[in-house]
Structure 1
């Protein structure tokens, strides 16, 4: 049996480090009028890997959950999607992180149970080095930069994977309630930028990461800082991509949104999948390539938001192709 990915020849196409958590998503009212919440597996890195796995990539997760009903559910869910969980730590002494998500017209409001949550307790000594040494891409988000010891573990993982030749991918994924202040968030979220090769951010995060609210100005500023490939997601409008200071808008697809949970993760999963499938080293990717990757990412995200939840909503390759052909 061949243990290498068909996309990259590496054991893993993408490894993601960070949070796997439970999204308790608002799901109607009880007979007595109380709000009901549905248990959905989530967490941006886990969502991203689910999108990639459903699209045919070989993936692995590094993180920590509790040895509890939610942690066991998350591990089972990741494995069911095809994500390698040998880097997932099941902790006896801390509870799995939870996020309660209320929906208003498809938009979300978060309330986290994370004081601390298991994801913040991953230590550098617990990293699975064999996984980090054998991936084409390592992806991180900013939620693993909010607390110690996971912040130190994240930087250790980035340095290890980078030394082994991996592309380093970053999604800031700003959640205001998880930071002590906006100033701390800006400081911590900008710190890893010199280590990043590719980056996805939303139009709500442009000013935080670059100092510019305008997506094109923000992308050019990040490009000037040395980030090789940047995508800014713009909701229904689609996405803007930037390569070596040149930018292009890629329109989205027009389908009704049911739940925007995981939209950015689905987009970036589709984008990274096409980047890897192109077979091009990052330095050979041009703006036309980036636009093609973003079109595929837009289609992946469009299908995701037409369904409920994050991980359960990720489409398979054939669904994305059908939407693009329409």
Structure 2
């Protein structure tokens, strides 16, 4: 059994590294893809993980497969395609480290994952099944994720969803909202950003928008992240907030995934016994996940930036 099985995109993030001698932009290639970033965070924290997805039989796909092996993520569910190329994402950073994405993703491998390629037994072997909605942009991968969600639901596996909205990848934003709602309807655990909440509900106030989500979907626990403004946790009748930690931010890529991975790690430690999580336990969980997210912004890339337990504990001790 794995602590978490994730299904979705595995790709290459090209992160800017200044300009070359002739003034051309220089990019550094890093492994990424939100579901796998979350698994990388979990592995750094000592949890077992397995991935389901598709990459191309090309230099990038082979590198990504090797990255999974190096991270200790089970790659039994990874499909390698000779027909489609691995997805590429190009990241532009502003002075604050905030991101803008451009994708090379037309008919690429991750969106061509078929439902019959999803290993149902692997889905059932997870204590948690995690996914986003980026794969919902294309019919084949959308059906594949829905198969994973249905399999997990029928098997009683805890379901975690992080929408991970990327507007440029959607032809129709109404479809994006429908896809988010479709996935969120399965979720026991939701991690969502303030931007995604506003996208869904047209409400800028994070607490108000979060309460609308809670009313619509009734997850067991909700994490609403707000970038430099910190994060909220909603469970039962209480709401908690934790500010960002004071760190030197270089690149925010993967910060939300680090938060999600750390939160899921602590939920696994609690035996996924949501009823036992009182306000004090939730406050400690939120603080831990917030520290992980803050640390992830101090390094470039996503997977390479996931913090180790000792790094998180050191930051928590320094900010005590």
Structure 2 CA distance, aligned partners of 1:301 and 1:220? 23
Of 113, 127, 142, which residue of structure 1 is paired with 2:133? 142
TM-score (norm 2): 0.96
Number of residue pairs the alignment of both structures matches: 316
Instruction: Give the direction of change, closer, same or farther, for the CA distance of 1:178–1:280 in structure 2 (3 Å limit).
Output: closer
- Tell me, in whole angstroms, the C-alpha distance in 2 between the residues paired with 1:127 and 1:270: 26
Q: Residue 201 of structure 1 aligns with which residue?
A: 192
* Partner residue in 2 for 1:8: none
1:158 to 135, 138, 149: 149
1:195 counterpart SS class: coil
For the pair 1:173 / 2:191, whether they are aligned, the reply is no
**Corresponding residue for 2:91?**
101
TM-score normalised by L of structure 1: 0.94
**Partners of 1:194 and 1:287 in 2: CA distance:** 25
Q: Deviations over 1:178-237 (max 9, x none)?
A: 001322211211122221111001111112234432111122122222111101111122
- The 8 Å contact of residues 24 and 99 in structure 1, kept in 2 or not, is answered as yes
| Residue aligning to 2:46 | 56
Shift of 1:319: 1.0
Alpha-carbon distance in 2 for matches of 1:12, 1:49: 11
| 1:252-283 alpha-carbon deviations (Å, 9 max, x no partner) | 21101000000000011111101111224224
Inter-CA distance 29–137: structure 2 relative to 1 (3 Å threshold): same
CA–CA separation in structure 1 for the residues paired with 2:301 and 2:292: 14
* Aligned residue in 1 for 2:7: 17
Distance in 2, matches of 1:54 and 1:104, equals 28
Segments of 4+ moved more than 3 angstroms: none
In 2, Cα distance between the equivalents of 1:199 and 1:16? 14
User: Where do 5+ consecutive residues of structure 2 fail to align?
Assistant: none
Query: Does the Cα contact within 8 Å between 2:133 and 2:183 map onto a contact in 1?
Result: no
- Distance between the aligned counterparts of 1:151 and 1:230, measured in 2? 23
